[in-house]
């Protein structure tokens, strides 16, 4: 009888996880779901506790694993740089907070890439019941029903999802690319323009409209020096660096 009950409960768990996987994850342009859980900085509500900042939610498979450890050390190294960009971030996994604390203490005692010891100042959030991970689609059942894949959600100050990326368990994330993505989003928002492929901060921007009319040019002939065209609908606005190098 006990065996039958246990099998029944396990079947319910797997059905629940399967149904969760069929639910739509938060999509770009949608309001990010909120959740409250224990973390290495105490009870934490994401994204609300980060206020009017840009926010990143990282998920990782398991504490103490080598790829995850390298990622957290890279994030610790970039912490101040991201803070200057008004970016705050949190890390979540299905491990419990006590294990997070032990892992944090271990990482803070390492000298990774000869950079010196780094403090883990961002929250490591527990999710042993997997509910928060399910909300964000971090559990991909073909890979694992209990361990998150490497997910990255970037939210703007209004808690709108602006970027989503998922990486396999075996592959570490490029934190500099994530930083570049935020810089691109912030620049696009500020200029109302677009970033071309492989754009880096300070590069020329794509203009999503014809940049000037004949009347504009007649009134301000130097206007044409601020823009250039490389093909149909591919108008660029020169960056400040490009303009000053003329």
- Helix residue ranges per DSSP H, 54-139: 66-84, 97-107, 131-135
Residues involved in catalysis: 68
How far is the CA of 97 from the CAs of 1, 17, 62, 140, in angstroms? 35, 22, 12, 22
User: What is the 8-class DSSP label of residue 146?
Assistant: S
Residues 49-64 as b or e (16 or more Cβ within 10 Å = b): bbeebbbbbbbbbbbe
Pairing relationship of beta strands 124-126 and 87-93 according to DSSP bridges: parallel
How far is the CA of 107 from the CAs of 123, 205, 208, in angstroms? 14, 39, 45
Q: Spell out the residues 6+ positions from residue 173 whose beta carbon is closer than 8 angstroms to its own.
A: 58, 71, 150, 152, 165, 167
């Amino acid at each position: 009888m006990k065996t039958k009950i246990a099998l029944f409960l396990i079947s319910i768990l797997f059905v629940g996880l399967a149904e969760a996987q069929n639910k739509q994850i938060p999509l770009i342009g949608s309001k990010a779901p909120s959740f409250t859980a224990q973390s290495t900085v105490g009870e934490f509500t994401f994204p609300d506790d980060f206020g009017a900042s840009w926010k990143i939610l990282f998920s990782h498979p398991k504490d103490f694993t080598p790829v995850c450890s390298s990622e957290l050390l890279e994030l610790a190294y970039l912490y101040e740089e991201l803070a200057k960009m008004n970016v705050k971030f949190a890390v979540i996994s299905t491990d419990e907070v006590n294990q997070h604390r032990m892992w944090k203490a271990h990482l803070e005692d390492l000298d990774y890439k000869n950079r010196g010891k780094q403090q883990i100042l961002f929250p490591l959030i527990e999710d042993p019941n997997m509910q928060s991970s399910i909300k964000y689609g971090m559990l991909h059942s073909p890979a694992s029903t209990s361990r998150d894949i490497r997910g990255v959600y970037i939210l703007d100050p209004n808690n709108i999802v602006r970027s989503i990326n998922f990486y396999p368990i075996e592959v570490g994330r490029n934190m500099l690319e994530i930083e570049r993505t935020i810089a691109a989003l912030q620049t696009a928002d500020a200029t109302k323009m677009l970033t071309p492929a492989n754009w880096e901060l300070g590069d020329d921007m794509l203009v999503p409209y014809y940049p000037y009319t004949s009347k504009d040019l007649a009134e301000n002939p130097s206007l044409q020096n601020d823009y250039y065209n490389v093909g149909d609908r591919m108008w660029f606005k020169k960056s400040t660096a490009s303009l000053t190098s003329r």
